[in-house]
Amino acid sequence: MQYPEPIAKLIDSYTKLPGIGIKTATRLAFYTIDMQEEDVTHFAQSLISAKRDLKFCSICGNLTEEDPCSICQDETRDPSVVLVVEEVKDLMALENTNEFRGRYHVLHGVLSPLAGKGPDDINIDTLVQRLQKNEEIQEVIVGTNANAEGEATAMYLSRLLKPAGIKVSRLATGLAVGSDIDYADEITLIKSVEGRTQM
């Protein structure tokens, strides 16, 4: 069946979102049509506002309304430790734990030769510049994901930064709390043994 053009365009727009196939996009489109007009207007304004009003922090790469971001402006945070993450959503997840009180650096991706992503395609240059300008920074914690691209990025950063005399560490990886050892894959088990802590 041929949908009217406004519905077809709406479905097409939803399919551009990650993880949304044609069936889910169709459900979302019809759900949107059933919404109250003021809710649809508010939804559309939220999309436009997020696109127009947010920018990347010139220091760490975090999403922010003001530059520098609130984390970079916070003088109560430890300026000697920088935690490097792949994406802003990783920074947000770590912030929600209320445990890390240092600074961050967002790479906006990882090294992936198969996808054509090299060091110039992610936010590494600004990290290096940051370290050159700021003598307070003593440790860089690499918080990339424990997959092939994340590990390659971690190794690259380690080789790049260690000659400058900066301590480079890696977030511990391994078994998730509440998981069973026999269900874990081999790499997870290896990382669990390597990242063991004293009791």
Predicted confidence at residue 4, as pLDDT, reads 94
CA distances from 115 to 18, 45, 93, 110, 112 (A): 17, 34, 26, 10, 5
pLDDT in tens, 160-190: 998 888 999 998 877 677 777 677 778 777 7
Q: Are 91 and 61 in contact (CB under 8 A)?
A: no
Q: Are 168 and 157 in contact (CB under 8 A)?
A: yes
Predicted confidence at residue 152, as pLDDT, reads 92
Q: How many Å apart are CA 191 and CA 173, to the nearest integer? A: 6
Predicted confidence at residue 134, as pLDDT, reads 83
Predicted confidence at residue 97, as pLDDT, reads 87
Same domain, 38 and 115: no
CA distances from 12 to 27, 50, 96, 172 (A): 12, 21, 34, 41
Residue 64: count other Cβ atoms within 10 Å of its Cβ.
Answer: 21
- Strand order of the β-sheet with 139-143 is 103-106, 81-85, 139-143, 167-170
**Low-confidence spans in the chain with pLDDT less than 50:** none
pTM of the model: 0.84
- The domain spanning residue 42 has which CATH number? 1.10.8.420
Q: Is residue 182 part of a domain?
A: yes
Q: Is residue 67 part of a domain?
A: no
Q: Is residue 167 part of a domain?
A: yes
Q: If DSSP codes are grouped into helix, strand and coil, which group holds residue 19?
A: coil
**Among 53, 70, 87, residue at a domain's last position:** 53
Same domain, 27 and 112: no
Q: Is residue 65 part of a domain?
A: no
155: containing domain: 78-194
**Among 16, 38, 53, residue at a domain's last position:** 53
Predicted confidence at residue 198, as pLDDT, reads 61
